[in-house]
Structure 1
Amino acid sequence: HHRREHIYHAIQEANCYGVEHNLRTMKSLGYHPRSLTVCGGATKSQAWLQMHADILGMDVNVTKVQDGPALGSAILGAVAAGRYASLQEAAQAMVHEHYTLSPDPEKHEEYKFWVDRYTEIHPAMRDIQHSIADHMSDLEG
């Protein structure tokens, strides 16, 4: 009984679960991000950004400048030219937030169950995906 929009929604959720899985790995290594800052084409979907906030349980900050590679290049150039002493200083001066989406605590609690299942199944799927990628590479090569 599932339609295209259900499959698309599931793909969006899986992407968010992957981000949360990465953040959990970072947390296990002692890094504890408090928010996520995003730019680019994906920011045109406020619903998807809200999904990220709900799944991650943290604020999602959308930048004013949407062209991340161009802004990153400008930051690197400003540091190279001596305008700023470090990349962190340049980024703090040049990256500005446009708006922030905060998580819905109830949705975050519900998503925890699904993210836990995702992280349990991910190792087995990773090996299968690598096997498929290797097979396809052999066929192409």
Structure 2
Amino acid sequence: ASILKELVNLTDIINDVVEDRQIIAATKGIGIENFVSHNVIMAGNASLLEAVFNNLIDNAIVYSGGTRIKIELISIDNDKVVIALSDNGCGVPPEHLPRLFERFYRIDKGRSRAAGGTGLGLSIVKNAVILHGGGISAETQCSGGLLFKITFSRNSK
């Protein structure tokens, strides 16, 4: 299935999502730090890209138990851009990491149902990233917390 792509400014999209989520994060004592200041222009679908960052930030707000969410530009060249989104929360037990992106997979079935999660967030994220010619991985940082590395192709093919 191909999606409609046009030139979008990923930096603006991330800024908008962060601004949108800032208030709800603050009510839970979480600050969102956005270090993506470099203008990242790429071929993309704005609403799918929004969904990627909305879902990742929402997950961190609801599940991480941390106080900080950080978004950084790791690298950018003509072909691709790599963004990191991390939190300083409790992380995820290593045995769950490979399955994080599966549909309906839940780490803690009771807790996430109470939080109203569908278990679809990260599979939507992964599919949206793949549709942008990229990939996403999750790892637990040595300082604790989850780190997502998101790669997008900047070209429409």
**Could you say which TM-score interval applies, normalised by the shorter chain?**
under 0.3
From the two aligned structures, give the one with the greater strand fraction.
Answer: 2
User: Which of structures 1 and 2 has the bigger CA Rg?
Assistant: 1
- Normalising by structure 2, report the TM-score: 0.26
TM-score normalised by length of structure 1: 0.28
